[in-house]
Amino acid sequence: MTGTPATRALRTTGTNTLSVTLGRVGGGLLAALFGLVGRARGTRALHPVGVCGAGALHMVPGPPSGVALLDSPGPHDCRVRWSRAAGRRHGRDVEGMAVRVTGAAAGDVLFASTGTGVVTRHMLTARAPHRHGSLTTLLPLSTARGSLLLRLDPVPTEGDPPTAYRLLIAAPGLPWHERGTLEIRWSSHDCTRRHDPVGQPLEGTWTQPIWSRLRDPSYAAAQQVPAVRHKPAGALPEVT
């Protein structure tokens, strides 16, 4: 950036002010929309119907990252919820997976169906019922070593949803690297648990302020509508 220190400071202040304004305005609009949809549905505005389970992440540690999940082999116990964004039982919809890791690596992380290319990993994609594919964090997580995306790829099984996934990581624009596996035991029912990847991020990660400003108001509005527990059609039998 060129110019005098005063000019550079002014530009930085202007950029930060614009970021704050856009975040607050966008967050307010999303809050109003999610609140309206949630009240109309009487439950979650997005991902209203799903199935919950318990899982374990087994990792292959690499160079120290400051992210507890990536730096320890585990197993890392977790609670998992799979769902479809609009809750449609027929037609195409966006897959979603919410993972709550417990223990030393504790935190929430959300995945959605996307592509896996340099650009498409940031683009949602809809899938037909009973079709499963790659899920990513869509937006990168911030860490001490830079931005990072996580990805889950289903391992071919007879489960619906799948009972095993490969976990991969990548910096934005760079190739993916496999770093672990997620094994899940699905129940036969949904749950009312909510996940908060901004307020409760994975240990050693955080969210950029602009995304926090966009998401926080809508999350608060959504919390005002209680989550209703549904039993999704076609769920796997409960595993004890």
Digit-by-digit pLDDT tens for the chain (240 residues) are 455 544 444 343 443 443 344 334 333 333 333 333 334 444 455 657 889 999 999 999 999 999 999 999 999 999 999 998 877 778 898 899 999 999 999 999 999 999 999 999 999 999 999 999 999 998 899 999 999 999 999 998 778 999 999 999 999 999 999 999 999 999 999 888 888 888 899 999 998 877 666 665 555 554 555 555 555 444 433 332
3 state SS of 70: helix
First to last CA, the chain: 59
Residue type (1 letter), 92: R
**Which parts of the chain fold into alpha helices (H)?**
5-41, 68-71, 209-223
User: Measured between alpha carbons, how far is 37 from 117 in angstroms, rounded to an integer?
Assistant: 32
- CA-nearest of 127, 51, 40, 124 to 90 is 127
Query: What pLDDT shows up at residue 5?
Result: 47
ω into 140 cis (within 30 of 0): no
User: In the numeric block, which tokens belong to residue 126?
Assistant: 């809809």
Q: Fill in the amino acid letter for 58.
A: H
Residue 217: predicted pLDDT: 52
pLDDT value of position 108: 96
Give the Å distances, CA to CA, from 16 to 23, 163, 197, 211: 10, 43, 23, 13
Q: Which residues contact 38 (CB under 8 A, 6 or more apart)?
A: 44, 45, 221, 222, 224, 225
How confident is the model at residue 45, as a pLDDT? 52
pTM over 0.85: no
Residue 186 and residue 102: Cα distance in Å, rounded? 17
